[in-house]
C-alpha cells in the first residue's frame, strides 16, 4: 500500500459523497474544532427498534441510546458512538465508570471523556446499550446478529431507516434532525469489536471506526486452530446481562450447543467472523492494539488489518507494549490530540494534515515510539526458518527428529526458562546470537510434521527473544500501567459528569527473554478446522497453524528461538490422551514476517556473535481472565 494511494482517498470520498460537511468557520481554528458550544448539552434517551425479536416475546426489540449533543445550534452535528454491553455490569475505562441517570431516568453521567471533550466542539456522543444489556430489550448473542444489528440500527435511525421513540414501549416517534448522519464508532475490547462488526456490514453513514484491543473473529477469542481456551461465550452473555435474562434462555442454549468444546469451527463462529466481510468496509480505520495483550490476542488485529490492507481501506495504527489497555491510559495527551484531529477530518471534513502524517506508530521501549509512513508489517516478506538438530536457521534440515512428552501441568514460561537445559516437555531450537537486528512484523505460522503416540494431540508453538531488555510489565495486574492519585481533565465537567481522570505511568520489567508470538492447534484438525478426527498413533501428520501477530525487533546479540510443545496450560485445555509427540525436522518450519526478507535473515546470521544471555528470570504469573474480554 503506497501512502499516496490511500491518503488521497479521504478528500475524494468527501467530495464525491457530499456526506461530511465542513464545519462552520467559527467552529474550527488552527485545524481543530474548538469548544464553542458552551451551553448545557441536550441529554436524552432514544429507544431504537432493531427489527429483531431476540427475546421472542412477539415485540420488536428496542435498544436504549443515550445522547449528549450541543444545545443552542441549528447546525447539524456528527456523532461519536460507543456501543457497549458494559454500561451497567462492568463499567468503562480505567476507573470502571457506569452510566448514571437522574430521578426522571434521563442520562446524566456518561463514562469516558468523549462527551466532555467533543460535545463542546460540535459533536454528539451516543452511548448505546447493546441488546439485552442495561436498559435495552432483546438478548446478547456475543458478537452475533443481535449485537451487531442493535448498534447498526442506531446508525440507520440517524438516516431515517429505523424507528426511534422516546419510551422503551409505546411513546412518540423521535427523529434525528439535529444530526448530519455521519458517525465515528469507537471503543475498547467488546465495544471496539462491535465497531468492527458494524463496519463489516457497510452501513450507510459510518465514516470511521476506532477499534481498541478489539476482536475481529470470536472463534479466535475462544478457540485456536482446533483447540479450546477453556471458556465459552454463554458465560460472557450471562455476565453482561447481569446474571442472564430468563426470556433469553433459547439464545443461551444456542451459544452452548453451537460452540463445541473440541474447538471445531461451526456456523456460530463463522457468523461471528468479520474478516471475510472486510470488503464491505467503507469507513476509515484507526486501530490500536497492545502487543502484550493476552486477552484479545494480537491475531485479532493482524488478520483484520491484512484484510483491510487488501482492500486499501484508509487506516492508521498504534501498537503499544501494553496488554489490554486503552491509549488514554498509556499515551494520554498524544491520544486525545490525535483522536481529535482524526474525528475532525473524517466527521467534520477538516483538512488538518492528519492524513499526511505517519500511518503507524509502534512503541519500541516503554514510552519510546517509532513512527513510519506505512506499517512495515504490510511489506514484510514471509520467510522460512527451519528447526535443526543444531539450532534454528534459514537452511532446511537435511533430516533429523525431535520429540517431547505433553505435560499439561506446564506452560510456555516453564518451557522458555533455562533454554540451555534439556526438557522432556518441549523441543527448543535457537539461533546463535544475531549479528544484526532482525525485525518481525506481521502474522507468521508454523508447519509441523508430527507423529503422535495417542489418538489425540495438542500443539503449542512460540517465538522467544532471548536477551536482556527493559519492557512494559504487561504480565502484571496493570498490564503495563500504574494508576496514580493525581488527575488530569479533558473537556468540560458538569454536575454528575466529571471530565477528570486519574493519571497513569508505565510499569517496567527487566527481563532476559520475552515471548513475542505464540500459537496453538489440535493435530486432529490437520485436514479441516470443522471436523476433528482421531489420530492413528505412530502415523505422521502435517499441519500448519498460525502464530499471533507481532512487531518486534530482535536486537543484535540476542537469540531467536522456536519452541514447540504440547499443552500450554496458561492458555489451552489438554487433549483427552496426552502422549509423546515426535517431529520430523525436515518437514517442520516456521514462516515468519521478516522485514527485509531473506537478505535481512542472511545479514543477521552472518558474522560472529558477541553477546549471549546467561540469566533467566522466574516464571511470570500469567493472569488470564477466562470469562470475558477485559473492559
Enumerate the active-site residues: 189, 293, 324
Triad 277, 251, 155: Cα angle to 5°: 45
Distances (CA, A) of 223 to 202, 446, 622: 27, 17, 18
Residue 535: burial class (beta carbons within 10 Å; 0-12, 13-18, 19+): buried
Q: Which three cell numbers stand for residue 16?
A: 464525491
Q: Which three cell numbers stand for residue 176?
A: 434525528
Sign of the CA dihedral running 179, 498, 92, 99:
negative
Look up cell 414501549; give the residue: 169
Triad 439, 441, 447: Cα angle to 5°: 100
Q: Which three cell numbers stand for residue 333?
A: 495527551
Look up cell 452452548; give the residue: 256
DSSP-assigned letter for residue 375 = -
Which residues contact residue 29 at a Cβ distance below 8 angstroms, ignoring those fewer than 6 apart?
Answer: none
Contact 569, 410 (CB under 8 A): yes
Total Cβ atoms within 10 A of residue 79: 27
Question: What's phi and psi for 197, nearest 5 deg?
Answer: -65, -40
Distance CA 384, CA 328 (A): 38
Question: What's phi and psi for 496, nearest 5 deg?
Answer: 85, 0
Strand pairing partners for 124? 79
Residue 609: burial class (beta carbons within 10 Å; 0-12, 13-18, 19+): middle
Sign of the CA dihedral running 465, 371, 295, 249:
negative
Distance CA 405, CA 427 (A): 10
Question: What's phi and psi for 553, nearest 5 deg?
Answer: -100, 115
Sign of the CA dihedral running 17, 19, 20, 26:
positive
Distance CA 524, CA 578 (A): 13
> Could you tell me where the DSSP H helices lie in 547-630?
597-605
> Quick check: helix, strand or coil at residue 88?
coil
Amino acid at each position: 500500500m503506497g501512502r499516496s494511494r490511500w491518503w488521497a482517498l479521504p478528500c475524494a470520498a468527501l467530495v464525491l459523497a457530499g456526506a461530511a460537511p465542513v464545519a462552520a468557520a467559527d467552529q474550527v481554528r488552527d485545524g481543530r474544532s474548538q469548544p464553542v458550544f458552551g451551553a448545557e448539552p441536550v441529554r436524552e434517551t432514544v429507544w431504537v427498534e432493531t427489527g429483531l425479536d431476540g427475546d421472542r416475546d412477539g415485540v420488536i426489540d428496542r435498544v436504549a441510546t443515550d445522547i449528549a449533543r450541543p444545545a443552542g445550534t441549528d447546525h447539524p452535528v456528527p456523532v461519536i458512538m460507543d456501543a457497549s454491553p458494559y454500561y451497567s455490569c462492568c463499567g468503562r475505562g480505567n476507573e470502571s465508570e457506569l452510566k448514571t441517570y437522574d430521578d426522571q431516568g434521563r442520562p446524566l453521567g456518561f463514562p469516558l471523556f468523549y462527551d466532555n471533550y467533543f460535545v463542546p466542539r460540535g459533536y454528539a456522543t451516543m452511548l448505546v446499550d447493546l441488546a439485552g444489556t442495561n436498559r435495552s430489550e432483546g438478548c446478547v448473542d456475543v458478537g452475533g446478529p443481535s449485537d451487531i444489528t442493535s448498534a447498526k440500527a442506531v446508525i440507520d435511525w440517524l438516516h431515517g431507516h429505523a424507528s426511534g421513540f422516546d419510551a422503551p414501549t409505546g411513546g412518540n416517534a423521535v427523529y434525528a434532525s439535529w444530526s448530519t448522519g455521519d458517525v465515528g464508532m469507537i471503543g475498547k475490547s467488546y465495544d471496539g469489536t462491535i465497531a468492527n462488526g458494524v463496519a463489516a456490514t457497510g452501513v450507510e453513514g459510518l465514516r470511521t471506526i476506532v477499534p481498541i484491543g478489539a476482536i475481529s473473529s470470536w472463534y479466535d477469542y475462544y478457540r485456536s486452530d482446533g483447540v479450546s481456551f477453556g471458556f465459552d461465550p454463554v458465560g460472557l452473555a450471562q455476565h453482561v446481562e447481569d446474571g442472564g435474562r430468563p426470556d433469553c434462555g433459547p439464545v443461551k442454549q444456542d451459544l452452548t450447543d453451537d460452540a463445541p468444546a473440541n474447538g471445531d469451527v461451526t456456523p456460530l463462529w463463522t457468523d461471528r467472523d468479520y474478516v471475510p466481510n472486510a470488503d464491505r468496509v467503507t469507513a476509515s480505520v484507526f486501530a490500536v492494539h497492545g502487543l502484550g495483550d493476552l486477552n484479545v490476542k494480537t491475531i485479532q488485529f493482524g488478520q483484520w488489518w491484512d484484510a483491510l490492507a487488501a482492500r486499501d481501506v484508509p487506516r492508521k495504527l498504534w501498537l503499544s507494549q501494553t496488554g489490554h489497555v486503552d491509549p488514554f491510559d498509556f499515551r494520554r495527551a498524544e491520544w486525545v490530540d490525535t483522536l481529535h484531529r482524526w474525528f475532525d477530518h473524517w466527521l467534520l471534513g477538516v483538512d488538518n494534515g492528519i492524513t499526511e502524517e505517519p500511518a503507524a506508530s509502534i512503541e519500541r521501549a516503554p514510552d519510546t515510539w517509532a513512527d513510519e509512513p506505512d506499517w512495515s508489517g504490510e511489506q514484510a516478506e514471509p520467510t522460512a526458518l527451519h528447526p535443526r538438530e543444531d539450532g534454528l536457521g534459514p537452511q532446511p534440515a537435511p533430516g533429523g527428529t525431535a520429540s517431547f512428552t505433553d505435560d499439561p501441568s506446564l506452560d510456555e514460561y516453564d518451557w522458555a526458562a533455562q533454554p540451555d537445559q534439556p526438557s522432556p516437555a518441549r523441543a527448543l531450537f535457537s539461533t546463535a546470537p544475531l549479528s544484526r537486528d532482525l525485525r518481525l512484523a506481521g502474522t507468521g505460522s508454523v508447519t509441523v510434521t508430527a507423529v503422535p503416540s495417542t489418538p489425540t494431540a495438542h500443539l503449542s508453538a512460540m517465538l522467544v527473544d532471548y536477551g536482556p531488555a527493559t519492557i512494559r510489565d504487561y504480565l502484571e495486574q496493570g498490564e503495563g500501567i500504574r494508576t496514580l492519585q493525581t488527575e488530569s481533565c479533558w473537556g468540560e465537567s458538569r454536575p454528575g459528569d466529571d471530565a477528570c481522570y486519574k493519571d497513569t505511568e508505565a510499569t517496567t520489567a527487566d527481563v532476559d527473554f520475552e515471548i513475542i508470538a505464540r500459537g496453538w492447534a489440535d493435530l486432529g484438525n490437520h485436514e479441516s478446522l470443522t471436523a476433528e478426527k482421531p489420530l492413528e498413533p505412530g502415523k505422521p501428520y502435517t499441519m500448519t497453524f498460525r502464530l499471533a501477530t507481532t512487531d518486534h525487533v530482535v536486537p543484535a546479540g540476542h537469540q531467536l528461538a522456536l519452541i514447540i510443545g504440547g499443552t500450554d496450560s496458561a492458555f489451552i485445555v489438554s487433549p483427552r490422551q496426552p502422549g509423546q509427540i515426535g517431529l520430523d525436522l525436515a518437514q517442520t518450519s516456521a514462516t515468519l514476517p521478516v522485514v527485509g526478507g531473506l537478505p535481512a535473515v542472511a545479514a543477521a546470521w552472518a558474522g560472529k556473535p558477541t553477546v549471549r544471555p546467561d540469566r533467566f528470570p522466574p516464571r511470570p504469573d500469567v493472569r488470564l481472565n477466562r470469562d470475558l474480554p477485559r473492559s
